Amino acid sequence: MRIALAHKRLAYEPHYVSLPKMQHRETAYRDLNPQGLVPLLIEDEQPLIQSLAVIEYLDEIYPEPALMPKTAQDRAYVRAFSQIIGCDIHPLNNVRVLKRLQSQFGADEAATNEWYRHWIAEGLGALEDYVVREGRSAQFALGDAVTMADICLVPQIFNARRFGCELGAYTKLNEIFENCMTLPAFTETQPKTQPDAF
């Protein structure tokens, strides 16, 4: 979401919610997001949740530069790409899931990392095949303009690197990642630029 805001050059006031300190589970935060998950955007006193919904909202209200393509076919592709990450990869490797593996099933750090890497390999492997089969990508996931798909891919690659995943096989995804990382919207929002990054 921060990448979308940066890409559209939208000013906002950041508030940091610490996951290690479990601030996302505090009542005050849950009053805004009953799921107790980040990110959250408040606009006109209205809390907006779920990254993909918020990115599409931003694109509707602030259409330039567009993050969703013009044709229905391309939009279906961008949504499918984004949902492979946001709905099928990320939820399996979210902090609360990894913690639950440890607390309920006694998984140690090695087993947890193995779980993480398994779902990355399965998810990104399928995504690489999908992008190649579709043949719609060029510099970015769809052609030569940034879309929601790129905004989903880059943070997932950063996260996978943090867990030491082997990413060499994903030629097309790596190319897209490197192209994104030449743009200020991506470099200015990468994890190390966040004051509360851990």
Ligand X SMILES: N[C@@H](CCC(=O)N[C@@H](CS)C(=O)NCC(=O)O)C(=O)O
The DSSP element (H or E) to which 174 belongs, if any, is helix 171-180
Q: Smallest distance from the beta carbon of 19 to ligand X, in angstroms?
A: 5
Q: Smallest distance from the beta carbon of 138 to ligand X, in angstroms?
A: 26
The DSSP element (H or E) to which 128 belongs, if any, is helix 109-134
Q: Smallest distance from the beta carbon of 135 to ligand X, in angstroms?
A: 27
Q: CA neighbours within 13 Å on the CB side: how many for 193?
A: 13
Nearer to ligand X by C-beta: 60 or 144? 60
The DSSP element (H or E) to which 49 belongs, if any, is strand 46-49
Nearer to ligand X by C-beta: 52 or 145? 52
- Answer for the pair 75, 82: CB distance below 8 angstroms, yes or no: no
Nearer to ligand X by C-beta: 95 or 132? 95
Nearer to ligand X by C-beta: 49 or 145? 49
CA distance 41 to 45: 9
Binding site for ligand X (CB under 6 A): 19, 24, 37-38, 50-52, 86, 94-96
Q: Smallest distance from the beta carbon of 114 to ligand X, in angstroms?
A: 19
